[in-house]
């Protein structure tokens, strides 16, 4: 019955939960934590790992709490000797087929398997070990797969298929030979993976990790001939603190700048500046397309995961992509042209490091169509996780740092640049500027219809005497829905923003790993996005084109949006890729 409530007991604690709730749901209400490994809320609920088993009245044996529904009057015990023994044995069996080099594993100290093994006092050598001979796949620019550490939980394959709609990885073979990989066990780099890194975000162990660029950065810092320039993406300020135990959504911009300086960076700049630059160029491109009969709808191009997805799966839509480079690539281009000339530096002597929430950015820096005179715009894309590790290894006590400001001339940016990190933020920022360019003013500062963490958002705004229809999607399965709707003729838009990661960059593949107890029950996307919108609201500059840095760049170098020099340095082309 609709709205029916079920009464049950968890370890003797009475709880009331909606009909259809699982034992795991009821335990959460009772404030009882049941351990899980394969469970991923709303994505993977298959009861395969058997770590969440409990005793329940009416059941003949132990049942999986993540899948077993509660019934009226049910009594559940989550911590009996039988339950503890079962969980311990299961963990010991997992360890028999797991590479236990924990001290050299990236996930040491935040590994879900390690945490449970410690809690249940397992004997790691109880069962005979299998020889670890599975080949490590490090073929891509962004991920490393080590199936010697995989526990076959199915979380990575579930997120790739259900959330991203790609299914480039899956379970191969059966029994003891079962493992996760690409079709025919081909390397990841030879498959239409988009590099979003969501599989690495949800992996509970060290089977999927980010390919590290940390040593290259340490080497550059130690090289007296190199001038090392860092710049940080909008969302990093809202997530880096999590790597140091700070609450989700804490804005640590000032501490972040201080920490990067202490690592040895010569300059620390604000990538929000080129988020503003992207908006100015993108809004100009959108207006030109609308007024001159250009290809519509225009899609945003700041997310490299989405761009690569389009290149692989919808190459016929490449003319719809904005030709604007991403803020990361624009910043690199500005540093190695305008900044280098202004400071009489040979671009070859610059080592440019972006700090980003995204694993796909590691692929983006390798795109040869964006090289200029044989030089890449950005030398290294460093994820938030990698920066956190570097800060710890340098012995910097992050939480005790004083706030410091970014360096001139790339310090000041608008709030519109800051909200780039949240889904809908690019759209809202573009509307703030495009409305002014078309109408001569923009009374609305906040376009709240495109805010929020929903997978798909649609709105229509009256701009320049015309109805501008917009859509926002995050998560590539939602991107498919948008694009397929356009193909079928069911949908008609002027402008579409797409982010590969659910919730946008705030939930990128390179963000700090959080425990399952947080991931499954805290709305990470909303909490992280709030920090960005709060920073936007507190900023006296709310529109990208109003930033004094934009005036500086155009007056001294680019002349005007869409100029020849702007196209030479700030715009790009795309590549049709096979499936």
- Active-site annotation holder among 336, 361, 457, 543: 361
C-alpha 301/C-alpha 316 separation (Å) is 15
Asked whether 445 and 436 are in contact (CB, 8 A), the reply is no
- Beta-bridge mates of residue 6: 17
Enter the tokens of residue 252.
Answer: 């640590």
Asked whether 348 and 340 are in contact (CB, 8 A), the reply is no
- Single out the residue of 139, 221, 128, 218 nearest to residue 181, CA to CA: 139
C-alpha 540/C-alpha 535 separation (Å) is 10
C-alpha 146/C-alpha 114 separation (Å) is 17
DSSP states along 224-288: TT-EEEEEE-GGGGGTGGGGGTPPTT---HHHHHHHHHHHT-SEEEETHHHHHHHHHHHHHHHHH
- Single out the residue of 495, 482, 429 nearest to residue 455, CA to CA: 482
Number of H helices, E strands in the chain: 20, 17
C-alpha 569/C-alpha 565 separation (Å) is 6
Asked whether 201 and 208 are in contact (CB, 8 A), the reply is no
E-state strands within 44-193: 53-56, 63-64, 75-77, 143-145, 170-172, 179-181
- Active-site annotation holder among 282, 311, 376, 386: 282
361 is catalytic: yes
- Single out the residue of 505, 568, 470, 571 nearest to residue 306, CA to CA: 505
568 is catalytic: no
- Active-site annotation holder among 66, 182, 324, 505: 505
- Active-site annotation holder among 369, 402, 441, 490: 369
Q: Which residues contact 42 (CB under 8 A, 6 or more apart)?
A: none
153 is catalytic: no
282 is catalytic: yes
- Active-site annotation holder among 213, 322, 337, 544: 322
Burial string for 439-464 (b: 16+ CB within 10 Å, else e) reads eeebeeebbebbbbbebebebebebb
Helix 272-292 with 425-439: angle, nearest 10 deg: 50
Chain mean position to CA 407: 26
Enter the tokens of residue 267.
Answer: 């300059």
- Active-site annotation holder among 242, 253, 267, 364: 364
- Active-site annotation holder among 102, 153, 302, 303: 302
8 is catalytic: no
Sign for the CA dihedral angle at 480, 182, 363, 526 comes to positive
33 is catalytic: no
- Active-site annotation holder among 253, 285, 311, 376: 285
Cite the active site residues.
282, 285, 302, 322, 361, 364, 369, 505
């Amino acid at each position: 019955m609709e709205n029916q409530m079920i009464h049950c007991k968890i370890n003797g604690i009475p709880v009331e939960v909606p009909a259809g709730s699982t034992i795991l749901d009821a335990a959460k209400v009772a404030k009882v934590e049941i351990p899980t490994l394969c469970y991923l809320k709303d994505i993977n609920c298959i009861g395969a790992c058997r770590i969440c088993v409990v005793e329940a009245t009416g059941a003949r044996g132990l049942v999986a709490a993540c899948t077993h529904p509660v019934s009226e009057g049910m009594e559940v015990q989550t911590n009996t000797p039988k339950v503890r023994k079962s969980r311990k044995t299961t963990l010991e069996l997992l360890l028999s087929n797991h590479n236990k080099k924990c001290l050299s594993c990236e996930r040491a100290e935040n590994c879900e398997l390690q945490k449970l093994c410690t809690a249940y006092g397992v004997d790691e050598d109880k069962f005979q070990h299998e020889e670890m001979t599975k080949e490590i796949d490090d073929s891509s620019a962004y991920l490393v797969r080590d199936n010697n550490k995989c526990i076959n939980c199915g979380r990575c394959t579930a997120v790739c298929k259900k959330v991203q709609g790609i299914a480039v990885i899956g379970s191969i073979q059966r029994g003891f030979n079962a493992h996760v990989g690409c079709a025919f066990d081909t390397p990841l780099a030879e498959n239409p993976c988009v590099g979003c890194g969501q599989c690495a975000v949800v992996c509970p162990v060290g089977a999927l990790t980010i390919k590290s660029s940390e040593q290259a950065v340490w080497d550059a810092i130690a090289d007296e001939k190199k001038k090392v320039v860092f710049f940080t993406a909008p969302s990093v300020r809202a997530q880096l603190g999590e790597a140091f135990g700070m609450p989700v959504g804490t804005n640590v911009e000032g501490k972040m700048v201080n920490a990067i300086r202490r690592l040895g960076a010569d300059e620390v700049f604000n990538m929000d500046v080129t988020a503003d630059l992207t908006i100015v160029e993108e809004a100009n491109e959108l207006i030109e397309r609308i007024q001159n009969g250009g290809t519509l709808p225009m899609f945003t191009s700041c997310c490299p995961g989405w761009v690569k997805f389009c290149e692989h799966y919808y190459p016929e839509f490449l003319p719809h992509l904005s030709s604007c480079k991403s803020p990361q690539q624009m910043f690199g281009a500005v540093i190695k042209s305008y900044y280098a000339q202004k400071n009489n530096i040979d671009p070859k002597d610059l080592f440019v490091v972006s700090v980003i929430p995204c694993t796909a950015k590691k692929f983006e820096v390798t795109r040869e169509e964006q090289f200029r005179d044989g030089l890449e715009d950005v030398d290294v894309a460093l994820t938030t996780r990698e920066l956190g590790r570097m800060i710890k290894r340098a012995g910097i006590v992050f939480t005790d740092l004083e706030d410091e400001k970014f360096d001139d001339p790339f310090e000041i940016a608008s709030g519109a640049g800051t909200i780039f990190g949240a889904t809908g933020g690019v759209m809202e920022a573009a509307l703030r500027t495009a409305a002014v360019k078309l109408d001569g003013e923009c009374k609305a500062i906040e376009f709240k219809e495109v805010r929020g963490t929903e997978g798909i958002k649609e709105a229509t705004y009256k701009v320049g005497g015309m109805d501008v229809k917009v859509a926002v999607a995050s998560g590539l399965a939602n991107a498919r829905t948008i694009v397929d709707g356009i193909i079928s003729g069911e949908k008609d838009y002027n402008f579409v923003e797409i982010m590969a990661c659910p919730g946008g960059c705030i939930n990128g593949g390179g963000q700090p790993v959080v425990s399952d107890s947080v991931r499954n029950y805290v709305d990470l996307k909303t909490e992280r996005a709030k920090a960005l919108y709060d920073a936007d609201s507190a900023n006296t500059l709310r529109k990208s084109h109003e930033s004094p840095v934009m005036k500086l760049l155009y007056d001294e170098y680019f002349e005007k949006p869409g100029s020849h020099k702007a196209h030479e340095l700030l715009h790009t082309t795309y590549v049709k890729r096979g499936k």
